[in-house]
Amino acid sequence: MSKKYIFSIILILISITVGYFIISSKQEVKEQNQSSTIQNINKTENSKSSQPQFLGEKGKTINLVDGQIGITANTLDDNLAHYYNTELPSGKIIHFFVIEDKAGVYRAAANACQLCFDARMGFRQEGDFMVCNTCGNKYPLEKIATKKGGCNPGPINPNLEIRDGKIFIKQSDLEQVSNFF
């Protein structure tokens, strides 16, 4: 073989090798950029909600307006717990439920057990009781929002304001149960 032919083959092999390394490094950079983008998306999502994920009934999102939320009272005529969530100005999301008991009293409580809240499982309704999804303790509807401490829903103001067919819950009352979330 001639020296020119061997030299040409060597140049071709070098070109192929260099091309392979260029393509490989571009692929690595692309993968690093994709990984970085995914991490940035995750960081953004986590910074929006730095609280751990709530596993119980999340309910309907309702917004604070002028430092309070308003819920149409007649939606609660079925004596069932209605679940809601709202975001406080601090970014913390509060999960809660509102119910009208058999005596016609509207009651609201955090959807979080005062003892088991770290499990983030909330409560479910079974007849005239709210039941902790973590430990199974039953709590009578008539007692909701009346006791602090113990294995029961975190109380929100037991004297809910009712005006023009709406139940109002103040932001300050929701902030008092924010430690459960």
Per-residue pLDDT of 114-128, as tens digits, reads 777 877 889 999 999
Number of compact structural domains in the chain: 2
Mean pLDDT comparison of 9-13, 98-102, 156-160, highest-scoring range: 98-102
In a domain, 153, yes or no: yes
Q: pLDDT-based confidence at 110, cuts 50/70/90?
A: very high
Q: Taking all residues of the chain, what is their mean pLDDT, rounded to a whole number? A: 82
Residue 55 lies in a domain: no
User: What local confidence, expressed as pLDDT, does residue 103 receive?
Assistant: 87
Does 107 fall in a domain? yes
Any domain includes 53: no
What pTM value is reported for the model?
A: 0.69
Average pLDDT over residues 135-157: 86
Residue 149 near residue 116 (C-beta atoms within 8 A): no
Note whether residue 130 is domain-resident: yes
Is residue 64 domain-shared with residue 43, that is, in the same domain?
Answer: no
Considering the domain architecture, whether residues 43 and 64 belong to the same structural domain is answered as: no
Q: What is the CATH number of the domain that holds 170?
A: 2.102.10.10
Domain carrying residue 11: 1-48
**Residue 158 or residue 68, greater confidence:** 68
Indicate whether 78 and 123 sit together in one domain. Answer: yes
Q: Which segments within the chain are labelled E, that is strand? A: 60-61, 68-72, 82-87, 93-100, 106-113, 123-126, 129-132, 138-140, 153-155, 161-163, 166-170
pLDDT at 80: 94
Residue 73's pLDDT band, with cuts at 50, 70 and 90, is very high
The model's pLDDT over 13-33, given as tens digits with 9 standing for 90+, comes to 777 776 666 666 666 655 665
Q: What does each C-alpha distance from 74 to 51, 57, 109, 126, 162 come to in angstroms?
A: 33, 21, 18, 21, 11
